[in-house]
Structure 1
Amino acid sequence: MARTTAIESVGVNISRNYRIMGLGDEVQKAFCSMFPSGNCGVFLFWRIMHLIVSIWYFFLWLVDMFESFLISSGLLKRYKTLDISRVQYLAIVIDSEEALHTLKVLDLLLWLAAIGLKNVCLYDNEGVLKRSEQAITEILKNEKRFKEITTNNPPIDEKGMSLEFISFSDGKEAVARAANFLFKKHYSSENKEKPNFTESDMAGALREIGYERPDPDLMLVYGPARCHLGFPAWRIRYTEIMHMGSLKSMKFGFLVKAIRSFTMVHQNYGLQCHRCPPISSVFHFILQSHFYKIFSNKLKFYFYVTGAKNSLEDLSQILVRRIAIESSLFKQWLKNIQTETGMLAN
């Protein structure tokens, strides 16, 4: 009887230990799924960095909201008068899903009219705004509707605002018709010389078929993506592009600030030598190379502490090779300048 009790107690202890070991295995599997590399320090470091960056961006958002409130209230004097003469043509690019909010689009157009902008191009990829062109223009022509919506904004100019509605299909159609025009002009004739088309040839073809439109001076993008969302590329050669965030969270103060910041920028236009890289590329090369040196040293210390030496060696080799290639290209460019012009390039 005593022997049976002892055997049962041993069996209970074994089963209890087995359950504890099984629970430990489950916890270990959970931690392994959370930390695939097995390095908890790296995961904790990135979580802390993510928290710091999130707090920083939240602080910047609060500052922007407060500044937008001050601009809308007219408390900041420098935003009361805008030199909109530099914004002769404004492009508004809206994500197709957000373009479905027609009231938001109308509010944005009313703000632009209140600021005094005369020529505005509305674009979305799927043509949502273009299908609503008639409804939008009818509302904007109604002066009573203007006053009802913009009671807190400056008075609207009586001359109104010229609107252009385009979509991605318009750009494709324009390119197809321009290519067909060039083909008929140069390749379908008996002329044996087949020229290589350039940008000027394409621009001339677009002008001939009636697709010549002014290039926007400023483009405001509303949506999650930081890009022009397929806006015709031949019309944004010198366009300043600004990402404004979501259309739902747009503010009048943000709009005024974006336009003022564009009017305060000095733009240089000139010829570019085909043998020389742009000056911006030169400065980008210098800053990028210096940044790589500093960044690689920082990563070297961090990866050495965390133990990820292989990743450091691969990254360092890539950075060193890129710096060497860019340095040789930069030296060759300087040599060409000295040889052709006899100038000393410092």
Structure 2
Amino acid sequence: MTFSLYRVTWTLLHMLISALHFIECVWISVRKKLDLLHKKCTEDEYDFISRYVKLFDKVPSHLVVIVGNESISYRDLANVAVWCIAAGISFISFYDHHGNLKKNETELFRALSEVTKGHLDNIIWGKKTKTHGLIKRNGTKNGVISTQKLHVNIFSLSDGKGALVQLARSICQSAISGQIKSADINQDIIDTKLQAEMDIPDPELALICGDVCSTYGFLPWQIRVTEFLQLQSHHNIQVKDFLLLLMRYGKCAQRFGK
């Protein structure tokens, strides 16, 4: 009887401690969010983001912005790119399945130039862009050398399903010409060729803009571990919106199929 009472008391105590720990975690999370929502961002946005992301459990190294069916706001996309530099994000990819962004990427280049006041030294353009190799020097800001670089890539539907079709055609032609044996064609070869073509890591976070929750055909072989979050619109996106999305990502527990 005494042993049973001891077990019950111990179980209740354990449940109480667990409940208190859960309440503490919720309170810390709520406090961070309230602090961010009511913070008057009168200080420099770059410094504000740099300091605030230190509170997050994790930050993605590769962020994707899926424009969806929205019209393109080049200024807002340029702002997100600059915020990524401040947050320590190394890769940002913009995806527009209509292909308008890729056709008018000079507009994005111009918007980035305006946002950074012409200092684009921190940005490295992906090899799929027209401006690839244009700027790859060490960046400076107010005379201080910055080592944080942001790789910018622009993709459309032709880089997704279209790339798979082109790769399949290329492999078939190689097999017909005898360059490779049909028995040697496997998933590893396909993955290797696709990765070599893109030369970017798999994205950890993708922001879907608009009311429709869809990948819109974005590079299906690179979203195996991607966390998708929905953004009502990228138009007039604010620093606080950006940080709240990063905060949500930081709380995500990725179990990788377990």
Confirm or deny a common fold (TM above 0.5): yes
- Judging by fraction of residues, say which structure has more strand: 2
1:263 aligned counterpart, secondary structure:
helix
Q: What 5-or-longer segments of structure 1 have no aligned partner?
A: 1-64, 147-154, 270-277, 280-346
Residue 179 and residue 118 in structure 1: after superposition, are their counterparts in 2 closer, same or farther (change >3 A)?
same
Q: Distance in 1 between matches of 2:150 and 2:179?
A: 48
Q: CA-atom RMSD, angstroms?
A: 3.6
- 1:71, 1:79 within 8 Å by CA — same for their partners in 2? no
1:70 aligned onto 2:38: yes
Residue 242 and residue 84 in structure 1: after superposition, are their counterparts in 2 closer, same or farther (change >3 A)?
same
Residue 112 of structure 2, aligned match among 134, 140, 143: 140
1:172 aligned onto 2:161: yes
| Corresponding residue of 1:115 | 87
| Corresponding residue of 2:220 | 233
- Counterpart residue type for residue 177 of structure 1: Q
1:125-274 maps to which residues of 2 (within 5 A)? 125-141=97-113, 143-144=116-117, 158=146, 159-189=148-178, 194-195=182-183, 198-207=186-195, 210-248=197-235, 250-269=237-256
Which is bigger in relative contact order (C-alpha 8 A, separation at least 6)? 2
Q: Distance in 1 between matches of 2:62 and 2:145?
A: 17
What's the CA shift string for 1:173-224, capped at 9, x where partnerless?
A: 3212210232134355398x7449653332123246x334321111111122
- 2:66, 2:209 within 8 Å by CA — same for their partners in 1? yes
| Corresponding residue of 2:139 | none
Residue 200 and residue 72 in structure 1: after superposition, are their counterparts in 2 closer, same or farther (change >3 A)?
farther
Q: Distance in 2 between matches of 1:224 and 1:175?
A: 28
- 1:216, 1:239 within 8 Å by CA — same for their partners in 2? yes
What's the CA shift string for 1:279-319, capped at 9, x where partnerless?
A: 5xxxxxxxxxxxxxxxxxxxxxxxxxxxxxxxxxxxxxxxx
1:226 aligned counterpart, secondary structure:
coil
Residue 145 and residue 204 in structure 1: after superposition, are their counterparts in 2 closer, same or farther (change >3 A)?
closer
Amino-acid identity (%): 21
- 1:123, 1:231 within 8 Å by CA — same for their partners in 2? yes
Q: Distance in 1 between matches of 2:103 and 2:96?
A: 11
What's the CA shift string for 1:108-151, capped at 9, x where partnerless?
A: 333333333231111111122222323323443464368xxxxx
Q: What 5-or-longer segments of structure 2 have no aligned partner?
A: 1-32, 43-50, 120-141
| Corresponding residue of 1:93 | 66
TM-superposed CA distance for 1:157, in Å, is 8.4
| Corresponding residue of 1:24 | none
Q: Distance in 1 between matches of 2:179 and 2:99?
A: 40
Residue 66 and residue 190 in structure 1: after superposition, are their counterparts in 2 closer, same or farther (change >3 A)?
closer
2:160 aligned counterpart, secondary structure:
helix
1:312-331 maps to which residues of 2 (within 5 A)? none
| Corresponding residue of 2:122 | none
- Judging by fraction of residues, say which structure has more helix: 1
1:176 aligned counterpart, secondary structure:
helix
- 1:116, 1:157 within 8 Å by CA — same for their partners in 2? no
Q: Distance in 2 between matches of 1:187 and 1:244?
A: 46
TM-superposed CA distance for 1:268, in Å, is 3.7
- Counterpart residue type for residue 223 of structure 1: G
